[in-house]
């Protein structure tokens, strides 16, 4: 199976579905569900309240992705142009050095139980920790199916939080939710433990809910982007500067991270997962020294002079539960990805976020996002100058690197390339 489908962009949607079916082995009739948006009003009426109709969202497929040595075509649902192109572009560049390498933590989601009016918060904290085994057993009794899959409460911690009205005792349940996003699962456990926690702490329980700061459910992606494939050493240096500003400046970090979420949210939506939960987790994780909002990703230059991109982000997505199982288009999207676990899905999503981020920075580092779009124009200039298919990418890279997307420059570059090749 290959995700390299040059010219995919020039095909019709129907022909693209046929190409995707051929490449992935997913039956065409499964893909044809996407042609109509994949959801009926009747189905929607069982998903949310007061349904009156549907909102169609474009579903594209990003090409060129290679993740941990396997090619994958990635479904992306978004209204924003150039996002799918950008992800595909970065994935193409990453392939030169083996594509994306990913990993992830265990799928641990945390529930919080807030206890108020505790006379001795520090004493309550230790009493609750002493009762840890009892509380964990009570929590696991709420979801025998999850436990049967190897999931369940892994640990418990108790924090004393200083707030303006006073000190709260906050119990965290750390729950391995396996292939679920896990919100319903951990919320059920938190509600079941509330009375016992209040009794041990000697206080009144108020909130019993998961935290979306899912910093124990992390997915990671890294890739090497070859300097020449990017457009040269100067461009690599400029990308590092662009990323460094995002690390240092919250104003730039907000847009830098929005660029990452362009990729992440498109795949989260396509697979019927909770985009708000993923966005809340990502932005709450983007905190650097001194508590300042910062960039989620990092870029540096390796010993070969190539660019190394890394991204680590909470990724609370599921394959069971939520809309993933009930929305037909989401089911098709998951089949396309060929993932067997929620962790595999989380890792591919993170790789797409890194790809999106790189593509945006590369475009910005070549005199603005528009210039990045102009690269399509540069291709036309190269063709007009008489470049062959093999010469076009080299001419385009030189035009972009030289910041001279012009016909006369294209002819000069072509002449230089041909003289070099004898």
Ligand X SMILES: CC(C)(COP(=O)([O-])OP(=O)([O-])OC[C@H]1O[C@@H](n2cnc3c(N)ncnc32)[C@H](O)[C@@H]1OP(=O)([O-])[O-])[C@@H](O)C(=O)NCCC(=O)NCCSC(=O)C[C@@](C)(O)CC(=O)[O-]
Ligand Y SMILES: NC(=O)C1=CN([C@@H]2O[C@H](COP(=O)(O)OP(=O)(O)OC[C@H]3O[C@@H](n4cnc5c(N)ncnc54)[C@H](OP(=O)(O)O)[C@@H]3O)[C@@H](O)[C@H]2O)C=CC1
241 is catalytic: no
Among 194, 360, 387, 395, binds ligand X (CB under 6 A): 360
274 is catalytic: yes
Q: In what order do the strands lie in the sheet with 297-301?
A: 70-71, 66-67, 100-104, 218-225, 307-314, 297-301
172 is catalytic: no
**CB within 8 A of 311, min separation 6: which ones?**
220, 221, 222, 260, 296, 297, 298, 350, 353, 354, 357
Q: How far from 7 is each of 82, 99, 138, 352, CA to CA, in Å?
A: 16, 20, 57, 20
Q: Does 2 bind ligand X (CB under 6 A)?
A: no
Q: Confirm if 122 and 101 have CB atoms less than 8 A apart.
A: no
Pick the catalytic residue from 213, 258, 285, 298: 258
Q: Which stretch binds ligand X (CB under 6 A): 189-197, 255-263, 266-274, 332-340?
A: 255-263
Binding string, residues 40-69; x marks residues near ligand X by CB under 6 A: -----------------------xx-----
Among 85, 181, 189, 201, binds ligand Y (CB under 6 A): 181
Among 11, 80, 199, 304, binds ligand X (CB under 6 A): 80
Q: Which stretch binds ligand Y (CB under 6 A): 43-51, 81-89, 178-186, 384-392?
A: 178-186
- DSSP for 295-352, please give it: -SEEEEE-TTS-EEEEEEEE----SBSTTTTT-HHHHHHHHHHT-SSHHHHHHHHHHH
143 is catalytic: no
- The 8-class DSSP code of residue 40 comes to -
**Taking CB positions, which residue lies at the least distance from ligand X?**
375
Among 23, 24, 78, 89, binds ligand X (CB under 6 A): 89
Cα–Cα distance for residue pair 264/45, rounded to 1 Å: 27
Q: Which stretch binds ligand X (CB under 6 A): 76-84, 145-153, 178-186, 204-212?
A: 76-84
Cα–Cα distance for residue pair 74/62, rounded to 1 Å: 5
Q: How far is the CB of 325 from ligand Y (least distance, A)?
A: 8
Residues engaged in binding ligand X (CB under 6 A): 6, 9, 63-64, 80, 82-83, 85-86, 88-89, 92, 255-256, 258-259, 262, 359-361, 363-364, 369, 372-373, 375-376, 379, 396
């Amino acid at each position: 199976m290959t995700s390299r489908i040059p010219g995919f962009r020039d095909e019709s949607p129907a022909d693209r579905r046929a190409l995707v079916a051929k490449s992935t082995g997913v039956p065409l009739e499964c893909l044809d569900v996407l042609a109509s948006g994949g959801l009926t009003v009747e189905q929607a009426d069982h998903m949310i309240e007061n349904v009156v109709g549907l909102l169609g969202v474009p579903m594209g497929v990003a090409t060129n992705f290679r993740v941990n040595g396997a090619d994958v075509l990635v479904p992306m649902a978004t209204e924003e142009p150039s996002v799918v192109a950008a992800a595909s572009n970065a994935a193409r560049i990453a392939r030169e050095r083996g594509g994306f390498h990913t990993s992830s933590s265990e799928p641990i989601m945390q529930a919080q139980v807030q206890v108020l009016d505790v006379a001795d918060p520090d004493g309550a904290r230790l009493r609750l920790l002493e009762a840890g085994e009892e509380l964990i057993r009570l929590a696991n009794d709420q979801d025998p199916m999850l436990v049967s899959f190897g999931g369940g409460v892994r640990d418990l911690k108790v924090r004393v939080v200083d707030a303006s009205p006073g000190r709260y005792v906050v119990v965290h349940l750390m729950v391995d939710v396996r292939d679920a996003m896990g919100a319903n699962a951990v919320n059920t456990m938190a509600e079941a433990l509330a009375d016992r926690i209040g009794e041990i702490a000697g206080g009144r329980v108020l909130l019993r809910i998961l935290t979306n700061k899912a910093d124990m459910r992390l997915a990671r992606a890294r890739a090497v982007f070859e300097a020449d494939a990017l457009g040269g050493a100067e461009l690599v240096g400029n990308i590092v500067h662009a990323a460094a500003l995002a690390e240092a400046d919250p104003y730039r970090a907000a847009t830098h991270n929005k660029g990452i979420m362009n990729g992440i949210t498109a795949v989260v939506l396509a697979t019927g997962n909770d985009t708000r939960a993923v966005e809340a987790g990502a932005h709450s994780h983007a905190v650097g020294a001194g508590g300042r909002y910062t960039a989620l990703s990092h870029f540096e230059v390796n010993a070969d002079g190539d660019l190394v991109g890394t991204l680590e982000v909470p990724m609370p997505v599921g394959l069971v539960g939520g809309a993933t199982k009930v929305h037909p288009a989401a089911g098709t999207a998951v089949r396309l990805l060929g993932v067997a676990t929620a962790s595999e899905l989380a890792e591919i999503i993170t790789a797409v976020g890194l790809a999106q981020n790189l593509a945006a920075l590369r475009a910005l580092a070549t005199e603005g996002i528009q210039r990045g779009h102009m690269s399509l124009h540069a291709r036309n200039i190269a063709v007009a100058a008489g470049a062959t298919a093999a010469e076009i990418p080299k001419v385009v890279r030189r035009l972009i690197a030289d910041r001279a997307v012009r016909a006369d420059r294209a002819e000069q570059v072509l002449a230089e390339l041909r003289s070099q090749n004898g």
